[in-house]
Amino acid sequence: MTTAPLPDAARGNWVDRLAPPRLRPWLKLGRFDRPAGIWLLMLPGWQGVALGDALAGRWPDLRLLLLIALGATAMRAAGCAFNDIVDRDVDAQVARTAARPVSSGVISVRGAWAFLVGLSLLAFCILLTMNLTAILLGVASLGLVAAYPFMKRITWWPQAWLGLTFNWGALLGYAAVQGRLGWPAAVLYASGVAWTLGYDTIYALQDIEDDALAGIKSSARRLGPQMRRGVAAFYTLASVLAVSLAVRTPWSLLLALGFAAHLAWQVRRLRPDDAALALRLFKSNRDAGLLLFAALALTALRR
C-alpha cells in the first residue's frame, strides 16, 4: 500500500508521520490527514448549540458539543468515502485527487463501502443519544449527503448543495438544545450556506483547469473573472446574517464583527491564479467559524 502524502495534505501531518503504514490509506480515505473538513462540518453544529443555549441564558452544553464533534468526524469520513466511490473515475483524471486511495486502486470499492457503512452506523448511534427532533433532522440529512457527489455533474453550483449539507448541523445542534426549530436557527443556517458558498468556491480554484478538462462544474468555473466579486457577495450575506444573531451584547457583537472581518480579509488576499493561497485561505475558515461560535456563546451573557 502506498504511504505517500497526498497533494492537498499538510506536510508532516499526523497520518503520514505517526500512523502505521497499513492504516494510512484508510485514514486518508476518511481525510483524517486533512482535518479542515471536520472543523467545517462540526462548527455549524457547535454554533447551533451555542445559539440554542444562549437564547435560554446558558453556556453551550459540553456534552452536546462532544457528541457533535464525534458525529461530525464520523460522518465527514463516511461522506468522503462515498464521494470517492462515486468520483473514482473523475478523480483519476485530476492531478490533486488521482492518488486518493480508491481512485488509485489502493483500497477497493468494496472496502470503501465497508468503511462507509461502519462509520455511518457509529454516527447513527451517536445521533440516538439526542432528542427526537434532532434524530429526525439527522436522518433527513442523508438525502443531502447522498446527492452531493452528483451535483458537480448537473449544476454549476455544487458548492451551494455542499452549503445545504455541511450546515445542516446548525439546525440539528439548535434542535438538540431547544427540542424544536425556530427562526434563529434558520438565520444561522442561511448564513452558513452563504459562508460555505464562499469558502468552497475558493477551494475549487485548485482544480479549475482539471475540472474544465474533465467536464466537472463548479461555482469557480461559472463565476470566471467575476469569482472574487462572487465570493465577496456570498461572504457579505453570511456576515450580515451572522452579525444579526450576535447583537445582544457588546462582546458577542465584537466577535461577530471579527468573523466578518476575517471573511473580508480572505477576499482581499484572494488571487484566482494562486492555488496554494486558495488552499490556505480555505483552511483559515476554521478560525472564522470559531469566532462565530464564541460570539454566539457570549450572547448568553444577556439575561
Percentages helix, strand, coil for the chain (3-state, rounded to 5) are 75, 0, 25
In the structure, what pLDDT confidence band is assigned to residue 115 with cuts at 50, 70 and 90? very high
**Does residue 199 form part of some domain?**
yes
Q: In terms of residue numbers, what domain contains 146?
A: 19-301
Average pLDDT over residues 127-154: 91
Residue 241 has pLDDT above 80, yes or no: yes
Residue 78 has pLDDT above 80, yes or no: yes
**Does residue 11 form part of some domain?**
no
Tell me the average pLDDT of the chain. 89
Distance CA 264, CA 255 (A): 14
- CB neighbours of 8 closer than 8 A, spacing ≥ 6? 34, 96, 206, 279
Predicted TM-score (pTM) of this structure: 0.90
**Does residue 76 form part of some domain?**
yes
Distance CA 223, CA 35 (A): 28
Tell me the residue type at 218: S
The number of domains in the chain is 1
CATH number, domain with residue 218: 1.10.357.140
In the structure, what pLDDT confidence band is assigned to residue 18 with cuts at 50, 70 and 90? confident
**Does residue 2 form part of some domain?**
no
Supply the pLDDT for residue 41: 95
Supply the pLDDT for residue 236: 97
176-228 pLDDT, tens digit each = 999 999 999 999 999 999 999 999 999 888 877 767 767 788 888 888 889 89
